[in-house]
Every structure is written in C-alpha cells, then in structure tokens.
Amino acid sequence: MRKIVSFMHVSLDGFVAGLNGEMDWIHVDDEIFDFAGDRTNNADTAIYGRVTFDMMDAYWPTAADQPNAGKHEIEHGAWYNNVDKLVISKTMNGQQRDKTTVISHDIDKQIGDLKKKEGKEIIMFGSPGATQTLMQFNLVDEFWLFVNPVLLGEGIPLFKGIKDKVGLKLLNSHAFTSGVMMLHYEKK
C-alpha cells in the first residue's frame, strides 16, 4: 500500500501560518531545498489543498524557464510538471487540468483507493486543511515536520479537530544549520 507523507513547516508552538495566512517566518534555504528534493524523488503523486495548489501552480510550471533559475527551480519544476497532482477543493469542482485532478467529494474513498494502487509515495506539501481532512479519515501515514525556531503565539494550527489520540513514532530527526529542525514521524 502506498503511503501518504505530509511535509509541513510549523512554528515551535504548532502553527503553520499566522492568523491571516502569513508565512514570512518560514525559513527555506538550499540545504532545506536539497533535503526536500531528495524526498520528492520518492513520490509520483502530490496532494494539495486549493490555496497551496494555487500558490504552487502559479510558480512551479515555469520556474525552470526563468533567467535566474537555480538548481532547485529546475529540479523541482521538472518534478512538479511530471507528477500527478490531486487538489482537495469544493470550490474548484469541475476545473480539471493536465495531470491535475480535483477531488471535491468522497475524499476518503478516492484517496483510500489511490493508496491501494501501484506507485510511489504520495506527498503533501503544506496544505494544512487538506492534511486535517485526510487525518480525519486516518489516511496520513507519515509527517515530516520542519520546525522553525519561532513562536507565533496564534495562527493557523496544524493539528486541529483531532478527536482521538494519534500515536506517533519518531523515525528520524535532522538539525539544519539555520536552526530549523526536521522531525520525521510515522503513525503507530
């Protein structure tokens, strides 16, 4: 069975964005890009919520074509353009695009069926709402949390609406030179 792996930047106090969605506190550099790039090679499908998809789709399809495109833009842009993308959204219903499928109903069944098909990992970048939805259906298998050394005090929480305790097992951790700490957990 394929795994769903959630990649998420989070503040030390558990928020993925400020109250108005601000993410200017997230630290990303070449070291983190290279680390994440190694992980995307293990995935052939990406899941996004609508807001994250809109952000990603506005940048990555042509990122490699920019005059100052670096290694990360070229590599991740190629991955993004080749990977199958699923968008969990009720507002985009019916808006199909090449290599992109919008899922607006029967999310648990459609994603559950996808996990049973042959293929590599299914990765989610950001998308706290989509992550929370898939967690309600017990569909997220692993969390790669990039804990940024900042306290926001308030904002959009990653783990919201959890009704039952979810046991996690730490598989790996990595401290980046920036102070960001990656914690890799799997569900017990």
Q: Residue-wise pLDDT tens for the chain (188 aa)?
A: 999 999 999 999 999 999 998 999 999 999 999 998 888 889 999 999 999 999 999 999 999 999 999 999 999 999 999 999 999 998 886 667 789 999 999 999 999 999 999 999 999 988 899 999 999 999 999 999 999 999 999 999 999 888 888 999 999 999 999 999 999 999 99
- pLDDT at 109 (0 to 100): 96
Rounded CA-CA distance 153/177 in Å is 24
pLDDT value of position 185: 98
Q: Are 79 and 42 in contact (CB under 8 A)?
A: no
The pLDDT of residue 39 is: 84
| pLDDT score of 94 | 63
User: What per-residue confidence (pLDDT) applies to 93?
Assistant: 67
Residue with tokens 């950001």: 126
Sorted by sequence, the CB contacts under 8 Å of residue 16 that are 6+ apart come out as 8, 9, 10, 23, 126, 128, 155, 156, 157, 158
pLDDT at 95: 66
User: Which helix or strand (DSSP H or E) is residue 41 part of?
Assistant: none
Burial class (CB in 10 A: 0-12, 13-18, 19+), 187: middle
Q: Which CATH class is domain 4-187?
A: alpha beta
The token pair at 128 is 């706290």
Residue extents of the structural domains in the chain: 4-187
pLDDT at residue number 163: 80
What are phi and psi for residue 48, nearest 5 degrees?
Answer: -135, 155
Q: Where are the alpha helices (DSSP H) in the chain?
A: 30-40, 50-59, 71-82, 107-116, 128-136
